[in-house]
Amino acid sequence: MIEAFLRAIGVVHIVVMVGLGLLNTWIWLRYPRRFPRYVHVLAVFALALGGLPFLVDTTLLTPANLPSILVLLTVLPTLVYVAFVFYGGCDAAAGEGHR
């Protein structure tokens, strides 16, 4: 009984994620306000900077540290994008900045 319920929830989850992915792609194509390439380069640099402690000291790579590893690897690139949007970089990159 529980296995059938969990299997049904898994199917619903897959359908919802595919639907959200299609919606995201449609919005991305319809509204072409995109980040400049240098922002993505900065985010990759931040990702590498977040992974640097784990390259230097491999004893940190334990299953118990997995949540903190994932947080560190996602927070730094996210901060790059948040700072870019917060300081009006999308408007400036699109040429729509306030003068």
The whole-number pLDDT of residue 2 equals 79
pTM: 0.57
Tens digits of pLDDT across the chain (99 residues) = 778 887 888 888 889 999 998 998 888 788 766 778 888 899 999 999 888 887 888 787 888 888 888 888 889 899 988 888 888 776 666 665 555
d(CA 9, CA 47): 33
The whole-number pLDDT of residue 89 equals 75
- Domain limits of the chain? 1-32, 35-99
Contact predicate 76/45, CB 8 Å: no
DSSP 72: H
The whole-number pLDDT of residue 96 equals 58
